[in-house]
Amino acid sequence: MLERLQGPKIGAVIEALGRFRITIFREYPYLYDGSMEYEREYLSRYAASTSSVVLFSRDAHGLVAAATGIALAEETSCFIQPFCADPSEYFYIGEVMVRADCRRQGWGSRLLAAMLDAARAQGFAKACLYTVRRDPGHPAKPSGYWSADALWERFGFAKVPGCETPCPWKEIGEAEETEKPMEVWTLDL
């Protein structure tokens, strides 16, 4: 079962969601070396927004799956920058995350469908999301890695050719944040 929170109610799950983000994004392809300090600051924007949506499911071991979304106009400049058109038309899907032992069970599809429904209900005309671009032969890429690109495509998202934006984060093994190329995906709702 998916639970849904919006606006200030998101504050109740910031700690759990932040820990989940750190765990999930530590894996390839993001290799994120995150901190709860950053997560609290980042996720507090969602708790302060009227357009934000957090979807999640839990079991006895904690979060199973989670997704976040917010009006693109309320996101950081690295996410808004690639849009020449009016960013107010776009609902930004920040992440769709599934715990490793629960993947390939339909959680990603359920989260994405529910998030797109939430965007439509708020009257957004378009949705967008971003994925990090990595060299196909990256040394940290695990054998048998499954890319979520097929999920985005199944829902009608299309990668915008040549459209990338640099976003900074600290990667495992780095002393400080560096910019990584993020590819832009869009969908007309």
| pLDDT attached to residue 84 | 58
User: pTM for this one?
Assistant: 0.93
Q: pLDDT averaged over the chain?
A: 94
d(CA 122, CA 93): 14
| Residue 169 to residues 56, 92, 153, Cα–Cα distance (Å) | 24, 19, 26
- Kindly report, residue by residue over 60-84, the tens digit of the pLDDT: 999 999 999 999 989 877 777 776 5
- The pairing of strands 126-132 and 90-98 is parallel
Which pLDDT score, from 0 to 100, does residue 162 have? Answer: 86
Domain with 127 in it: 3-188
Query: Which residues, including other chains, have CB under 8 Å from residue 48's CB and lie 6 or more apart?
Result: 7, 8
Q: What is the structure's pLDDT at 85?
A: 65
Mean pLDDT on 20-30: 98
Domain count, the chain: 1
Q: Tell which residue, 130, 132, 148, 139, has the closest CA to residue 180.
A: 132
pLDDT confidence of residue 82? 72
What is residue 83's predicted lDDT score, i.e. its pLDDT?
64
Tokens (6 digits) for 157:
């998202």
Total length of the chain:
189
User: In the structure, what pLDDT confidence band is assigned to residue 183 with cuts at 50, 70 and 90?
Assistant: very high
**Would the pLDDT of 189 be above 70?**
yes
Confidence of residue 87 (pLDDT cuts 50, 70, 90): confident
57: pLDDT strictly greater than 80: yes
* CATH number of the domain residue 146 falls in: 3.40.630.30
Average pLDDT over residues 121-147: 95
Of 186, 169, 174, which Cα lies nearest the Cα of 76? Answer: 169
74: CB partners within 8 A, 6+ apart: 45, 49, 51, 52
